[in-house]
Structures are given as C-alpha cells and as structure tokens.
C-alpha cells in the first residue's frame, strides 16, 4: 500500500523529468543529420578550445552520429541528476518536514522497511526514466540516422546516467537526514549537483587540477570518452556503487534513529 | 495485569529535562489521565511510549512488550491519537482508512462504519479539505479501527465540538468495558474528572502526584467565592489558601473552622456568597499557580 502510494505520489515529477529528457534526446538526434560534419567547423569558430574542453566537446567526433549525440550527454546527465537528487532527498525527509511521520510510524511497520519501500520507488523511477530514454534514443537513431552506428556507446551513456544519477540521489538522501527544513534540503541537494558540475568544468579547463577528477561524478562518465572508446571505467562504476550503498545505509541508520518531533 | 509500565524514564533536550525519572503503571482496563501544564512532558512521555523518541534512561513496557524490540507486534495492538493531526493531505478520508487497515492487516470495515457513524465523518473529502476538528475525528477513527488493546491519546478532545467530545468519551468508555486500557493527556480537566479512574500530575517532567480523581479533589478544602461591598481582611482566618481578589470579588480555598468563616462573614456587607467542593480544575490551577504549590496536599 505504501509502495503504491509512493509510486502515485512521485509520478508527476517522473513524467516531467522524463518528458524534458526525452525532448532533449529526440531534438539532438533529429538535428544531427542536418549538421553533418559542418558542426565541427561551427564549434571551432564559436567556442575557443579551453571552453570546448570544459564542456567535454573537444574530443567528440562529429562525423559520427554517436559522437554528435555525445554533445548532449552531459546536459541530460546534469538534468537527470538534479531530478534524482530531488526525489531521493525528499522521499523520506518529506514525512518529517510535512509532519506525517508521526502517523506513518504509528502504523505496524518498522522504519527500515518503510524507508526501503520508499527508496525502491525512487530507484524504480530512475531506472524507468533511463529505460525510456535509451529506448527513445535507439528509436530516434533508427528514425533519423541513415548511417550505420554502434549501439554500445549509446547503452553505456544511458548506464552512466543511471549510475551517476543514483549516486547523486544517494548522496542527497544522506544529506536530507541531517536537515529538517524542506527548503534547505532541496537547495542543498540541487546545489550539490550544480557545484559538482561546475567543479568538473573547472577541472577540465585546468590540467593542474586533474588529480581532483575523482571528486565529481560528472568527471567519472564523459560523453566524449564513451563515444570514442565505447567503454566506461569499471573503477568509477565501483566507486559510484560503493558511495551509493554507503550513503543509503548511513541515511537509513540516521532516519531510523531520528526523533519524530511535531 | 499491568498494561503500561514506565520505570525511571528520563529524557533530556540539552540541559533541559523534558521527562525526569518518571515512573507510572497502569492496569488493564484502566483509564489513566495525564495532566499538567504546557511543557510538563506529557507529549514527550507518550511519544517515548510510541517509540518516536528514545528515552535517555529507564524502561518502558506496554502490554508486556518493549516498544523498540517488539515494535510491529506492539503497534498492531496500540491506537495512537496525536495532539496535532498531520496525515496525507492529498488522500481521501476513505483511502486513509484503507491505508491504515492495510498496515494492520485486520478486516476493519464494520468498525470503520461504526466509527464513521458515531463521529460523523465525511469519507469522500480529502484530508486537506477538513477542518482541524474533523481531522482530529479521522485521526481518532484511524487509531481505533483495528480494535487496539491499548489507546494512547494526546489531547484528544482538542478541536472537537462538545457533541463529538461527549460521543468520543462514550466511545472510549465502551472500549474500556471491553478491557481496553486508555492513557490520555488533557487540558480539559472537567473531562478528566468525569472520565478517568486515576490521574497523574506532571510538572517539569516530574510526576508530582498520582491518585484517584476522588482523592485528588477531596483535599479538605472548599472553594469560597464572596462578593462584598467592602474589602475583606482574611488575615485573621486560619486555613485560607490561594486568595484571589478582583474588584469586589474574593475567591479563596478554605480548610479551617466553618464557624470562624461565618463569624467573619457576619462582620461585612455581602452581595453574594458561595461555598462549594473544589473541582479538578480549581485544584489543578492552585497546584500550578505561579510555579508554586499553593495547597499543601501533596
């Protein structure tokens, strides 16, 4: 019953985020053929090399439609991460901020079961978003791209969004267990994603900071790397999974111990 | 059988002790009234019983079970009505009942219908559309729909109109007859007086008195009200406490010789005079007046 309620409660934000990401995907793929190889010249004219590096487009191969799609990778990654951070940070904390925790926890279910049910809904919606985006990517490529292309990088890009998004969501869930005001929670969650994105931009522009690239999940998965190599780093996947699981466990422990004060 | 056992429980927030070494026990089928001024620690105590707040020290046992170790088993047998009612605002009342019923895993349709009728609840409204009093009624029904063995109520009549208030207490009396133990905090002392078998008085987190309502009000004092044309000098009268003067009116508690009071009254020009048994409200007010115990009955 709680699971169904959470599915219903979060369906609107899922539809909105899914719609925005889908439009981005379809738009980029649909305009790809009209630009062709000229896009490289346009980008070289409009953007200086450091800026191209900062936004991860310097190493993209625009003669290849997958490379062109890589142009959009970081923006969908950013938007999807803001969405997951928002959902994960509010899914349990909302019960405390809206003061419904007293009612919910008076019912015969332990808090850990309740939190796992809620987190499962957040993960399902994240997964569903990525499945839809991946399906739509393949569909759009079939529809708009006449040349042959490799599907593996497209799959790995979708997988990167999912892993990165859930990492941000898990961190936001942990953050939400420390605060009690809803505005603080949502501001910190969205702010954290934006700061990490900017951090990645700064690191990309400055070689001296290259050692710091482990800090931002936006540095772990880059559209250009995936498009060019057709692989993603297993080290970063491991780091992402470790961080996600740790944050979720610590967050659950904190919420489990949290006093219900009205 | 003891259904509520609170032993030496302490809860502090920083340097402030919200509950201080509290010990209470309530028998099966008893209605226990928990009274005290705001901030006395009543809600904190109830929340510790519900495992919403962890006690710093001490031990709580409800229906022979530990609130943390046997949480699910216990909550299947407890009904809880909070002081402030917050439920899912987007849900219809009917869905909230189904939601609660589903967690308790007991068929409760008949009981829900009974509660809806007694408390006059509109099933089709969303929770956010309800007034404070109607929200409280939904909360009471949710707490009782699974026929709990123990009902904890924090200021249950707060926000209810007088008719529903009477119905609620009749409902609780019916539950008591079935052996249900009821523990509730209230500011409506006249109701505590009518309804409870025993009361506990809490002040600054400490239980300062635990007694039956009859013993509590039977303190040997009488409440005296005098309206006179001149000022009354009570200094010579022995057994006077809690004096209040307002214009021509004088109120005080009196435990002395009635003949001496009559002699004093004979010397002044009286407009009206009344002497009565003090009700719980009067005694309670005097217990907590200006932070000191005015009546020496503890």
Q: What are residue B249's DSSP bridge partners?
A: B227, B246
Does the beta carbon of A256 lie under 8 angstroms from any beta carbon of chain B? no
Residues of B with CB below 8 A from A262's CB? 82-84, 86
Cβ–Cβ under 8 Å, residues B195 and B247: no
Q: What does the pLDDT look like over B227-270, one tens digit per residue?
A: 988 888 888 888 888 888 888 889 888 888 888 888 888 888 88
Cβ–Cβ under 8 Å, residues B84 and A99: yes
- In A, minimum Cα distance to B73 occurs at A108
Average pLDDT over residues B159-169: 89
Largest CA distance in chain B: 72
CA angle B156-B162-B163, nearest 5°?
105
Which is more confident, B186 or B76? B76
CB within 8 Å: A105 and B104:
no
* Confidence check: pLDDT of B68 > 60: yes
Mean pLDDT of chain B: 88
**pTM (2 decimals)?**
0.83
CB within 8 Å: B88 and A5:
yes
Question: Among residues 2-41 of chain A, which lie with CB inside 8 Å of chain B?
Answer: 2, 5, 9
Q: What does the pLDDT look like over B16-42, one tens digit per residue?
A: 999 999 999 999 999 999 988 888 899
* Confidence check: pLDDT of B95 > 90: yes
Q: What does the pLDDT look like over A169-209, one tens digit per residue?
A: 999 999 999 998 889 999 999 999 999 999 888 887 777 77
CB within 8 Å: B86 and A102:
yes
What stretch of H or E contains A5?
helix A2-9
- In A, minimum Cα distance to B140 occurs at A103
Confidence of residue B297 (pLDDT cuts 50, 70, 90): very low
Residues B222, B279: Cα–Cα separation, whole Å? 10
* Confidence check: pLDDT of B85 > 70: yes
Q: How high is the pLDDT of residue A87?
A: 96
Query: Rg for chain A (alpha carbons), in Å?
Result: 20
Q: What tokens were used for B222?
A: 């009488």
- In A, minimum Cα distance to B54 occurs at A259
Q: What tokens were used for B87?
A: 């439920």
CB within 8 Å: B142 and A102:
no
Question: Pairing relation of β-strands B181-185 and B31-35?
Answer: parallel
Question: Pairing relation of β-strands B222-228 and B150-154?
Answer: unpaired
- What 3-state DSSP class applies to B20? strand
Residues of A with CB below 8 A from B51's CB? 105
Q: Spell out the alpha helix ranges (H) of A47-150.
A: 49-54, 65-91, 93-97, 101-104, 111-144
Among B12, B20, B56, B4, which residue's Cα sits nearest to residue B203?
A: B20
Cα dihedral: B8, B14, B15, B19 (round 10): -30
Place of tokens 């057994």: B239
Q: What does the pLDDT look like over B41-65, one tens digit per residue?
A: 999 999 999 999 999 999 999 999 9
Confidence of residue B219 (pLDDT cuts 50, 70, 90): low
Q: How high is the pLDDT of residue B111?
A: 94
DSSP A109: S
For chain B, give the percent of residues with pLDDT over 70: 93
Residues B188, B199: Cα–Cα separation, whole Å? 13
Average pLDDT over residues B152-179: 91
Residues B3, A23: Cα–Cα separation, whole Å? 61
DSSP B120: T
Cβ–Cβ under 8 Å, residues A155 and A134: yes
Residue to test with chain A: of B54, B87, B146, most A Cβ within 10 A: B87
Q: How high is the pLDDT of residue A144?
A: 86
Q: How high is the pLDDT of residue B248?
A: 84
CB within 8 Å: A108 and B86:
no
CB within 8 Å: A108 and B88:
no
**Residues lower than pLDDT 70 in chain A:** 35-37, 56, 262
- What 3-state DSSP class applies to B24? strand
B114 phi and psi, to 5 degrees?
Answer: -65, -45
Cβ–Cβ under 8 Å, residues B2 and B27: yes
Residues A14, A124: Cα–Cα separation, whole Å? 10
CB within 8 Å: B75 and A103:
no
Residues A193, B257: Cα–Cα separation, whole Å? 79
A27 phi and psi, to 5 degrees?
Answer: -60, -50
Residues of A with CB below 8 A from B147's CB? none
Q: What does the pLDDT look like over B180-194, one tens digit per residue?
A: 999 999 877 777 878
Distance from CA of A184 to the nearest CA of B (A): 21
Residues A169, A142: Cα–Cα separation, whole Å? 32
Cβ–Cβ under 8 Å, residues B47 and A260: yes
- What 3-state DSSP class applies to B75? helix
CB within 8 Å: B103 and A260:
no
Q: What tokens were used for A222?
A: 């880059």
Q: What tokens were used for B233?
A: 């000098």
ipTM of the complex model:
0.82
Q: Count Cα atoms within 13 angstroms, Cβ side, for B232.
A: 31
Does the beta carbon of A257 lie under 8 angstroms from any beta carbon of chain B? yes
CB within 8 Å: B76 and A108:
yes
Cα B13 → chain centroid: 23
CB within 8 Å: B71 and A110:
yes
Kindly provide the b/e burial profile for residues A181-201, where b requires at least 16 CB atoms within 10 angstroms of the residue's own CB: ebeebbebbbebbeebbebbb
């Amino acid at each position: 019953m709680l699971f169904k309620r959470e599915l219903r409660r979060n369906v609107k934000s899922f539809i909105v985020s899914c719609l925005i990401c889908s439009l981005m995907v379809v738009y980029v793929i649909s305009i790809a053929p009209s630009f062709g190889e000229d896009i490289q010249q346009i980008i070289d004219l409009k953007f200086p090399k450091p800026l191209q590096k900062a936004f991860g487009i310097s190493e993209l191969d625009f003669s290849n439609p997958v490379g062109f799609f890589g142009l959009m990778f970081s923006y969908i990654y950013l938007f999807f991460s803001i969405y997951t951070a928002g959902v994960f940070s509010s899914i349990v904390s909302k019960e405390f901020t809206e003061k419904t925790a007293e009612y919910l926890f008076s019912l015969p279910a332990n808090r850990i079961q309740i939190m796992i049910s809620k987190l499962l809904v957040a993960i399902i919606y994240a997964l569903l978003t990525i499945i839809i985006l991946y399906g739509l990517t393949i569909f759009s490529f079939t529809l708009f791209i006449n040349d042959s292309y490799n599907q593996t990088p497209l799959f790995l890009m979708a997988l990167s969004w999912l892993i990165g998004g859930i990492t941000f969501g898990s961190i936001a869930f942990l953050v939400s267990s420390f605060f009690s005001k809803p505005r603080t929670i949502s501001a910190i969650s969205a702010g954290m994603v934006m700061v990490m994105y900017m951090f990645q931009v700064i690191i990309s522009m400055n070689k001296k900071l290259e050692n710091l690239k482990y800090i931002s999940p936006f540095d772990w998965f880059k559209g250009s790397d995936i498009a060019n190599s057709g692989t993603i780093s297993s080290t970063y996947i491991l780091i992402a999974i470790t961080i996600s699981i740790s944050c979720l466990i610590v967050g659950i422990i904190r919420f489990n111990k949290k006093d219900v004060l009205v | 059988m003891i259904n509520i056992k609170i032993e030496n429980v302490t809860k502090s927030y920083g340097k402030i002790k919200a509950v201080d070494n509290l010990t209470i026990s309530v028998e099966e089928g008893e209605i226990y009234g928990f009274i005290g001024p705001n901030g006395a620690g009543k809600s904190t105590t109830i929340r510790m019983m519900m495992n919403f707040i962890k006690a710093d020290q001490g031990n709580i046992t409800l229906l022979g079970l530990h609130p943390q170790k046997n949480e699910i088993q216990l909550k299947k047998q407890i009904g809880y009505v909070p002081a402030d009612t917050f439920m899912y605002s987007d849900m219809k009342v009917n869905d909230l009942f189904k939601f609660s019923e589903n967690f308790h895993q007991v068929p409760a349709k008949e009981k829900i219908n009974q509660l809806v009728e007694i408390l006059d609840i509109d099933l089709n409204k969303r929770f956010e559309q309800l007034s404070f009093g109607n929200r409280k009624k939904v909360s009471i029904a949710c707490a009782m729909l699974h026929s709990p063995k123990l009902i904890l109520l924090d200021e249950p009549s707060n926000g209810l109109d007088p008719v529903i208030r009477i119905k609620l207490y009749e409902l609780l009396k019916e539950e008591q007859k079935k052996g249900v133990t009821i523990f509730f905090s209230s500011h409506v002392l006249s109701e505590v007086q009518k309804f409870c078998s025993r009361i506990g008085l809490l002040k600054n987190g400490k239980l300062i008195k635990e007694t039956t309502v009859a013993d509590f009000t039977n303190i040997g004092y009488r409440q005296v009200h005098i309206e006179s044309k001149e000022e009354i000098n009570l200094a010579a009268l022995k057994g006077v406490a809690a004096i209040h003067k307002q214009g021509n009116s004088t109120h005080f508690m009196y435990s002395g010789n009635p003949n001496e009071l009559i002699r004093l009254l004979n010397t002044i020009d009286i407009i009206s005079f009344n002497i009565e048994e003090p009700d719980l409200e009067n005694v309670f007010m005097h217990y907590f007046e200006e932070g000191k115990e005015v009546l020496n009955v503890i």
